[in-house]
Amino acid sequence: MKLSTINFYLDWPVSIELKHLREFIITNLEKKGDVIRWSIVDIQNSIDSFGTKKLKIKAVLAH
Amino acid sequence: MEISPTIFIIPTGIGCEVGGFAGDALPTAKLLASASGCLVTHPNVMNGGTLSEKDKNIFYVEGYSLDRFAIGEIALKRVKQQKIGIIFDSAIESEILVRHLQVADACVSTLGINVHSYVVTKKPLNIMIDPDSSKMSGGTIENPDDLIDAGKCLIEKGVTAIAIVAKFPDDSDSSETNIYREGKGVDPISGVEAVISHLISKFLKVPCAHAPALKSIELNENLDPRAAAEEIGYTFLPSVLIGLSNAPNIVELPSKHELISLHPDQIESIVVPSGALGGEAVLAGIEKGLNIISVKNQNTLKVTNKFYDYPNLFEVNNYLEAAGIILAIKKGINLKSINRPLKKIQKISNND
């Protein structure tokens, strides 16, 4: 097993409710590896007219 | 006894003014445990190098397991005593290893803790600290499989909780370390410490915590009191062994056979620093509609409720106020009844 740290940017569309945000992030992170540690470290509001927010996630993944 | 089970989080490595140093949130944890009657918190809050304390109202749970508890994947079971094993990184110099072994012996002889045995990893763990740890400290280890294999070896010998001691690079003169010791900036090594303990929690599912092995460093007369607990001994292992000595067992859910002391559905509130709402436990709490008590506690992150607009969030100025909120929740007192001005009750439409 090898570990890597990534800074991962993810668009959070308005269609994803807050109560589903964790699951949404995990689903996207798991495409990149086995998740050891993660956290949202920054959010930018409304990057488009649809109200999409941009998340910056720092994660440690195992491969 | 009336309780309001509460999770208390101070994320590791984000430079929190309270809790970003060496066990300097422990008094706060005791306050919140007293208010709630039942507090679940993690080693970063409780470990003060040589100093720590047990509290019957506090469950000591490693961060990865704490997240799983918040999600609802595990429950906690009180134990009177854990049988602790220690994993030592094979990169630790022999003199420093002996210091740690003497700490373990001292905890057996003086505190009555059951430290059963230790194992040395086959290969050095090789800590790699992120060069950009200014906002959130991080990093990885080169040989995670050796760490996990060492843990398996202890468990096969009957150990029920694991302390890990990894050799960290000697950077005592680095600007990050000096800034941290003087009460500013981010603890540069805590992010990797979290990764090490998360690996044991994830793959071995036992209580665990980590202490770094570092060489003694030069006296610093400008030392911040919050970092002082890490300067009064040769190792940081005592607080880890004290915390693990009766840390709760992890019970995988659903469970029909294990007695459970605290089920995740019992949790009513999560206390977290303002700006640090982007962690898994907080988002899991939001999923469940729990009270989130966001406390002003200066740190490097800005993930606040302005991005979430979560209705059950209380923004407070300090942990004394947070304790008051928890007491009100515990006693079933409407918080609006305490604040002024007090609005009249609303009339709602009866047309539906």
> Are B238 and B43 in contact, with CB atoms under 8 Å apart?
no
Provide the shortest C-alpha distance from residue B299 to chain A (in Å).
11
Name the residue of chain B whose CA is nearest to A51's CA.
B307
Q: Which domains does chain A have, with CATH numbers?
A: 3-62 (3.30.1660)
Cβ pair A22:B141 closer than 8 A: no
User: What would the pLDDT profile of B109-122 be if each residue is shown by its tens digit?
Assistant: 999 999 999 999 99
Cβ pair B307:A4 closer than 8 A: no
Long-range contacts of A29-33 (CB under 8 A, 24+ apart): A29/A57, A29/A59, A29/A61, A32/A6, A32/A8, A32/A59, A32/A61, A33/A4, A33/A61, A33/A62, A33/A63
B252 touches chain A (CB under 8 A): no
The pLDDT of residue B134 is 63
Cβ pair A18:B310 closer than 8 A: yes
What CA–CA distance (Å, rounded) separates B85 from B104? 10
Cβ pair A18:B308 closer than 8 A: yes
User: What would the pLDDT profile of B35-78 be if each residue is shown by its tens digit?
Assistant: 999 999 999 999 998 899 999 999 999 999 999 999 999 999 99
Query: Looking at the partner chain, which of A1, A41, A42 has a beta carbon nearest the beta carbon of B144?
Result: A1
Cβ pair A40:B279 closer than 8 A: yes
Name the residue of chain A whose CA is nearest to B277's CA.
A40
Q: In which band, very low, low, confident or very high, does the pLDDT at B246 lie, cut at 50, 70 and 90?
A: very high
Q: Which of A30, A43, A52 to mutate to test the interface with B (most CBs of B within 10 A)?
A: A43
pTM reported for the whole predicted model = 0.94
Name the residue of chain A whose CA is nearest to B139's CA.
A5
Name the residue of chain B whose CA is nearest to A62's CA.
B144
Cβ pair A58:B136 closer than 8 A: yes
User: What would the pLDDT profile of B203-244 be if each residue is shown by its tens digit?
Assistant: 999 999 999 998 877 788 888 888 887 777 788 999 999 999
Does the ipTM surpass 0.90? yes
The average confidence (pLDDT) of chain B is: 92
| Positive or negative: CA dihedral B140, B89, B198, B297 | negative
Least confident interval from B76-80, B97-101, B178-182: B178-182
Query: 3-class DSSP state for residue B66?
Result: helix
Q: Which of B307, B310, B312 to mutate to test the interface with A (most CBs of A within 10 A)?
A: B307
Q: What is the mean pLDDT of residues B266-284?
A: 97
Provide the shortest C-alpha distance from residue B129 to chain A (in Å).
10
Cβ pair A42:B302 closer than 8 A: yes
Block residue for tokens 């071995």? B204
The pLDDT of residue B352 is 67
